[in-house]
Amino acid sequence: MRAIPAGSFLMGSDDFYPEEAPARRVEVDGFSIDERPVTVAEFRRFVKATGHVTVAERAPDAADFPDADPALLVPGSLVFHPTRGPVDLSDVRNWWSYVPGASWSRPEGPASDVYTRAGHPVTHVAYEDALAYAAWVGKALPTEAEWEYAARGGLEGAVYAWGDDPFPDGRAMANTWHGEFPWQHVGVEGFTRTSPVATYPANGYGLYDMTGNVWEWTADAFEHAPPASPCCGGAAAPAAGERRLVIKGGSHLCAPSYCLRYRPAARQSETPDTSTGHLGFRCVTRD
């Protein structure tokens, strides 16, 4: 973990998406945060020690989804599939599908595994799963303010976690989508999905993967209306009164041609029971 000193920072942004505004001064107490997202290997140790069964590994309750196709009321999770060409970007169903059997250990479905991805961030974890892991290690999930303060690495008002230049000296600083989303991915660093944690440079606080690679859960409720464009997220339009939480950081599916959410100020909403192939977490402890 890395110790983050107490201080104030300019949270949010007035320059990008409406749900990030207004930019405002926020005070944060000192805390410590995981240097990188929780990995597959770490989550596997948790599962072996506790017997935890993730939300994705349980069949959804039909009473909670009265309009759902019964064939989909089986354990599974949302998996990204690139399209063969340009599609309507207003409908996330063009690239997300519910895959029976997909889970943290089978991220693309039953035929996949994570044996070569122990050092990658764990994915397909719902909010409940992240909370359970955090409790097991004696930690907690960060608030949105803690997360964003840490992600900025001491850079006041910078666009990215490393500054204002998206590619300083031509170098990619985070695992993001290169090309036209969701069909053309150049994969200039050799990654078309998640990458091993700490592959890209740390920010000013010595933290890795604060943006790109995987979205991360926070402990805060999302109080605004969800964005009209849900970026690369897998959530459907919210029902009235539906509980949603803030996720931060963007992912390997964020593309400037579609969204620009691999920035500290960027935020999305997600339902607590949702799990996807691009959503993970990291933990904090507080003084």
pLDDT band for position 274 (cuts 50, 70, 90): very high
Q: Which residues make beta-bridge pairs with 221?
A: 245
Highest-confidence range of 154-168, 177-191, 222-236, 238-252, by mean pLDDT? 154-168
At 11-63, the pLDDT tens digits run 999 999 999 999 999 999 999 999 999 999 999 999 999 999 999 999 988 88
> Would 111 be classed as within a structural domain?
no
Q: Write down the pLDDT at residue 153.
A: 97
Q: Write down the pLDDT at residue 192.
A: 85
> Would 94 be classed as within a structural domain?
no
Burial per residue of 107-144, b for 16 or more beta-carbon CB atoms within 10 angstroms, e otherwise: bbbeebebeebebbbbbbbbbebbbbbbeeeebbbbbb
- Comparing CA positions, the residue from 127, 160, 162, 120 lying closest to residue 141 is 127
> Would 104 be classed as within a structural domain?
no
Minimum mean pLDDT range among 109-118, 157-166, 228-237, 238-247:
228-237
Q: Is the pLDDT of residue 188 over 70?
A: no
Mean pLDDT value across the chain:
92
pLDDT band for position 244 (cuts 50, 70, 90): very high
- Percent of the chain topping pLDDT 70: 93
Minimum mean pLDDT range among 64-68, 149-153, 174-178:
64-68
* ∠ CA 151-157-158, rounded to 5°: 70
The more confidently predicted of residues 70 and 133 is 133
- As given in the structure block, the two tokens for residue 28 are 């944060």
Q: Is the pLDDT of residue 106 over 80?
A: yes
What one-character DSSP code corresponds to residue 254?
Answer: -
Phi, psi for residue 98 in degrees, rounded to 5: -80, 120
At 215-242, the pLDDT tens digits run 999 999 998 665 555 566 554 445 556 7
pTM value > 0.85: yes
> Would 50 be classed as within a structural domain?
no
Q: Is the pLDDT of residue 112 over 60?
A: yes
Residue 12 to residue 20: CA distance in whole angstroms: 5
> For the domain that residue 202 is a member of, what is the CATH number?
3.90.1580.10
Residue 230 to residue 89: CA distance in whole angstroms: 10
> Would 82 be classed as within a structural domain?
no
> Would 258 be classed as within a structural domain?
yes
The structural domain count of the chain equals 1
Q: Is the pLDDT of residue 130 over 70?
A: yes
At 75-92, the pLDDT tens digits run 999 999 999 999 999 899
The answer to whether 4 and 32 are in contact (CB under 8 A) is: yes
> Would 45 be classed as within a structural domain?
no
**Is the bond into 272 cis (omega within 30 degrees of 0)?**
no
Domain holding 274, by residue range, is 1-38+120-287
> Would 68 be classed as within a structural domain?
no
Q: Write down the pLDDT at residue 223.
A: 82
Task: Give the residue-averaged pLDDT of 141-169.
Answer: 96
